[in-house]
Amino acid sequence: MSRFPDPERASSPVIGVLLLIGITFILAMLVLILCSGFRLPSAGQDDIFRIKTITYIPDTSGTGIRGLVTVSNTGSRDYRNRYLGVITYVNGARANCNIPTLNNELFCSLNHYGVWHLSGVGTWGNKDFPTSVWPGHSDIAIEYKKGIMRPGDRVTLEVIDTTTNRVISRDTFPHSATRDAGWFYNFFL
C-alpha cells in the first residue's frame, strides 16, 4: 500500500455529490424566482412611464379620430416635467408629432405639433419652479391630433430626459402577454 493517494482518483465521492446537489438546488431556485416574475434591477431604461389606456375620440363630423393616451408614472420618484420630452411611434414608424416638454407652460410656447392637449397633475406648474413635477404614482394624458393614430395601431412612447437626450422609459401599447427579448437583459444583465 502506498503512502500517497493516487492523483488520478477523486478525493471524496461525498464532496462531489454534495456539490452537485447544491448546484442543482441553486439553479432550481433561480428558475423558480425568474418564473414567478421577479425582476432584477437593470441599468437600462424600463417602463417607468407606462401607457395605461388609449381612448379614440371621433370628431363631430366623424371623419377623423384623435387618440387620447393615458400614461402613468409607475415609480415613486418625481420627475421635473420641464425636462421630459416624448417621442411617439405608431406601428414602428415615428409619428408626425413633437412633444418637446411635458410642462404645459413651456409646451404652449415651444414648437410642438401633432398634439392637441397635455393634461394631468404631472403637466402643471411654473417652468422655473422645482415643484413642477410629474409625481410618482400619478397619470397624465396626451391628446394627439386627428390622423396620428387609429384603433388597432401599436403605439410606443419613449420618454426622453431632455438634459441628456437619453431615453429613460419606453412602453408599447397594447401590452403583449408574452415577453420580448428585453426580459433576458432585465433578468441576467
Residue 168: other Cβ atoms inside 10 A: 17
Cβ within 8 Å of residue 54, ≥6 positions away: 67, 68, 69, 70, 149, 155, 173
Q: Are 160 and 107 in contact (CB under 8 A)?
A: no
Q: Are 143 and 131 in contact (CB under 8 A)?
A: no
Cβ within 8 Å of residue 128, ≥6 positions away: none
Q: How far is CA 99 from CA 82, 106, 128, 144, 180, in A?
A: 11, 11, 19, 10, 27
pLDDT at residue 177, as a whole number: 61
Q: Are 169 and 45 in contact (CB under 8 A)?
A: yes
- Distance of alpha carbon 171 from the chain centroid: 5
pLDDT at residue 6, as a whole number: 62
Chain segment 115-130, per-residue pLDDT in tens: 988 999 988 888 888 8
DSSP 33-74: HHHTT-----SS-B-SEEEEEEEEEE-TTSS-EEEEEEEEE-
User: Residue 97 phi/psi, 5° resolution?
Assistant: -155, 160
Element (H, E) at 22: helix 13-35
Q: Are 114 and 175 in contact (CB under 8 A)?
A: no
**Residue-wise pLDDT tens for the chain (189 aa)?**
556 666 666 567 788 888 899 999 999 988 888 777 665 554 444 678 999 999 998 878 777 888 999 999 999 899 999 999 999 999 999 999 999 999 888 877 677 788 988 999 988 888 888 889 999 999 999 999 888 998 999 999 999 999 999 999 999 998 876 555 555 555 554
Q: Are 10 and 4 in contact (CB under 8 A)?
A: no
pLDDT at residue 44, as a whole number: 45
- Its pTM stands at 0.68
